[in-house]
Structure 1
């Protein structure tokens, strides 16, 4: 057997290096000072172990395996330090040395923990180097190695178990370490699959990571809750509402329990203030996730009802996805009852979901105020506005519909007045465009109502007022893109911007044509403006094929109007000349 004193010396050096790494304090002049010192110690230890291995006799196989296992840890840690200080080539070299050393005995109780951790480190390294496929390969190898080891029904040993005698082995510690390491593997796989665009597999590993963290009691409650709520956004996007609601309920459960525990914890006033601030911040984020879930249910329920009316079986297939829910070991019934996990059919159900979403937004707005978080505050107001829009769909009474859209407009107008376009141009554009759509929706309600009522000057004036309000917003939206010197739209915008501008022109074409006036000359002017905007829309479709592809329906309507409007214009001109 290896001389106990030699192992004791190796352990002392190893612990000395670990202490330096763990006790790192930021130093603006030498930020990596402790890491470099730790690496120097580990490099000395590496040479000492290699020397000890060379001195072994051929029949000392067990001693050799012990030393190789320790050497694997040392090389892996040198690699981790090198990666931390951005010496990626050195890191890769040491990880490779450790991997080659451990590979032949990777399923041994002494080597499995280090072997899997090295594969994880390779996964992190290649992810940092943007070689995501290579990163995935190493992480999947780590998952496979753990599964194979578990089939052997053996207990892994930690590095400190290896340093000690059989009597000094800490029972259960090795299995606990293995479970934590493979949990990290799943966490990294979730990130890698996300980078590769395979969101379903990424979500699967995210959920598995959260579940394992619970089982191992190895998590930060606030971060766990936020990750659970964030993951819910993926699942409701796939119409897996039970899964999404379960994740949201789990996040609320975790936050509520942590808030109660926090009051009992002993800490300094500064620590408590910082932790309370973090709790408020993340609770607001979770409330926003809940509100997004409610808004999605309202929006998707409307899509379902519209598709059912059209009897479009192809589109309906979208909503028939499997919603199998792997549950967390938590008591979540109370929290799950807070929101529905089914689609909405009636106004009464829509109102309940509307009020739930409004409550979550109100709580989030207590943290994200206009004064300290203007961007997020504006997003919250946009969500308020969308709630009124969706609720109006379920309302049968036209007057009440119009009032809901009016509240939607008031919300958007109020926040737009508070934002400086110089600093918040993108959000201001969104608000302006949404206001154009809101006034247009109100216009459509008034026009539909007019079909069943006696025409009167008040109703006609209301229609024209809404037309002009909507026109004003869409023109303002287009003007935000124009170069101040040339008054032209730049040629360097993103395709999404060109699509939005084209859409604004399409709406302008439609709105100018809806203005009602008995004056033939004014009719001619509005009709000509309608034709001009429709032509500009077609110009964008011809110039940008992606815009044409995205707006096929609008393009078909526009082409029909471009054929119709010249005849309308000629007729008006003839009537005026007579």
Structure 2
């Protein structure tokens, strides 16, 4: 830049400053009917700079002519070196980045870069690609150095974003992975704070400090990692995507360049990946960090964060919704932890296996000793002003599977608290689907907690709370608009009543040796049977045509639920306790009809058999046995009806 010190050079710097101001400041004030007015003006100034630089270049001699030849084509840069291997952007041949010709190439490349971004901002994507490609072509004969490495990386970042937007995922991957390799090699071989692209057009007295250069360079690489995380997710490389996402979030906190609510939501979303993998320590850490950082909203650490919403009221509404979204992620954390504990401890009939429980408790002691080691190996978030808050929040919920009722209740209460928070925002009035999903998760929390409860009466009360929270909503929802939701609720209510019936049956069996069932117990048992059958039948009726005709073919998404519902209805009618033989006969015939439906449907649709193997086997067995019982009952009644076929 020293060779260009002159009044003309200062004029170029002033023009560049004006272009930046138009792009970053004035464009926010543009009217709706001219949304790109300031950016169009900035574009004109950038073209003016480019023309001026070309005039300077004309007198630079033969060396610069080689660079000019590299910038005349808009062909997409092929990231290959002379030996046919992919180039990592830091080639060992060509112009030195800090030579006069190399510096001029960087200056021209920077203008092409800013023109490219300008066109992308104004939705002229092909023109944007052309300028960004010209930028890389200008740099193609230069080695990456402290004078141009930021431009190398930023240009590839932009082309990576553009390619991803066009669903050219592998092309985007190539640009971004090359940008990453450029950063890593530069940091290994040099590591000094490189020249920022704005400094190509800055007078000496206004150059950035080393600290400012470092922050901008690290932020560019953080963007690379952020975009790579999205690319890997689109490629189905979820573990790799999670790693890059985690590192991105960590770097954003360190650089203090983030929008609090956006950061918090990304951390909460990442927690859901860890949860599905059973990595509860990492999941808890992400959610704790999300909650703490969400609390920083309004204390924006960056200009971008301060512009999350145009008005104060909109901002408050957004904050409430996003905090409710984070609360829902916490519910999922608690629910998955309880359900994984159930899988760990249950026997082959779904009850608590006390031997496994004791074995797990012995293993827990070693697991707790190794927890601290695990914490150190995990990727932690936080800075001095947030880490203590994150750690404090983590202490309020465990990350190890609960092994008894006390531990399970502690997890349940955390989930219950967040369910209450989420419901406060996602109310029925305006958020029907969200509200119902929260209630379903809340119901599932009770179901998971009930597994640990040894007192069968207490377990019944937990299931009754599930009924209380779901039944009214199920009956009030309009089937025309919320058919799928109603079906889910009908099926769940049927299962809850069935679980309560099974518990009552277990209690009755325990009492059978000492006393007969009293009328109150029989009435309660029959009510639970009938309620379960009613909701299963409501579900089945919802599958029928408006005229009430049963479908000849069940769609894939309802195939198993429909056949299971038929099987369960058959089982329920077989359990109802009735004194009059005529009532018994009616219930047995209903039971037989539903067992027959399962068998006949699977015979007519062989592909359905694989979805209900256990239910089908039992249904076939009952289709063989029930007619004998029905005939025996008829004989007892002294009927002259013909034998059941």
When normalised by structure 1's length, the TM-score is 0.88
What are the within-5 Å matches in structure 2 for residues 108-187 of structure 1?
A: 108-153=145-190, 154-164=192-202, 168-172=206-210, 173-187=212-226
Structure number with greater Rg is 2
| Length, aligned pairs only | 569
Change (3 A) 1:227 1:10: same
What are the within-5 Å matches in structure 2 for residues 19-38 of structure 1?
A: 19-22=21-24, 23-24=26-27, 25=29, 27-38=31-42
Distance 1:530 1:41 in 2: 83
Alignment partner of 2:325 out of 274, 278, 285: 285
- State the SS of the aligned residue for 1:469: helix
TM superposition shift of 1:28: 4.0
Alignment partner of 2:379 out of 308, 318, 326: 326
Distance 1:488 1:11 in 2: 78
Question: Which segment drifts farther, 17-26 or 335-344?
Answer: 17-26
Asked whether 1:499 is paired with 2:560, we answer yes
Larger % of helix: which? 1
What are the within-5 Å matches in structure 2 for residues 89-488 of structure 1?
A: 89-105=126-142, 107-153=144-190, 154-164=192-202, 168-172=206-210, 173-258=212-297, 272-306=312-346, 309=353, 324-329=377-382, 330-331=387-388, 332-453=390-511, 454-485=516-547, 487-488=549-550
Distance 1:465 1:157 in 2: 78
TM superposition shift of 1:123: 1.8
Distance 1:401 1:270 in 2: 50
1:92-122: CA deviations, max 9, x gaps? 3322222222233251222211221121112
TM superposition shift of 1:425: 2.7
Question: Which segment drifts farther, 68-77 or 273-282?
Answer: 273-282
TM superposition shift of 1:352: 1.8
TM superposition shift of 1:535: 4.3
Is contact 1:482-1:490 (8 Å) kept?
A: no
TM superposition shift of 1:440: 0.9
Distance 1:64 1:358 in 2: 66
Is contact 2:229-2:245 (8 Å) kept?
A: yes
Is contact 1:39-1:81 (8 Å) kept?
A: yes
TM superposition shift of 1:175: 2.0
Distance 1:217 1:528 in 2: 71
Q: Give the equivalent residue in structure 2 for 1:526.
A: 587
TM superposition shift of 1:124: 1.2
What RMSD in Å do the two structures reach over aligned CA positions?
3.4
1:411-445: CA deviations, max 9, x gaps? 10133344333333332222221111111111111
Distance 1:415 1:130 in 2: 42
Alignment gaps of 5+ in structure 1: none
Question: Which segment drifts farther, 77-86 or 139-148?
Answer: 77-86
- State the SS of the aligned residue for 1:423: helix
Change (3 A) 1:115 1:499: farther
Asked whether 1:511 is paired with 2:569, we answer no
Change (3 A) 1:412 1:151: same
Alignment partner of 1:76 out of 113, 136, 143: 113
- State the SS of the aligned residue for 1:104: coil
Question: Which segment drifts farther, 355-364 or 562-571?
Answer: 562-571
- State the SS of the aligned residue for 2:194: coil
Q: Give the equivalent residue in structure 2 for 1:11.
A: 13
TM superposition shift of 1:163: 2.2
Change (3 A) 1:41 1:496: farther
Change (3 A) 1:279 1:116: same
Distance 1:372 1:394 in 2: 36
Distance 2:391 2:282 in 1: 14
Change (3 A) 1:215 1:270: closer
TM superposition shift of 1:252: 2.4
Distance 1:465 1:292 in 2: 33
Is contact 1:106-1:115 (8 Å) kept?
A: no
When normalised by structure 2's length, the TM-score is 0.79
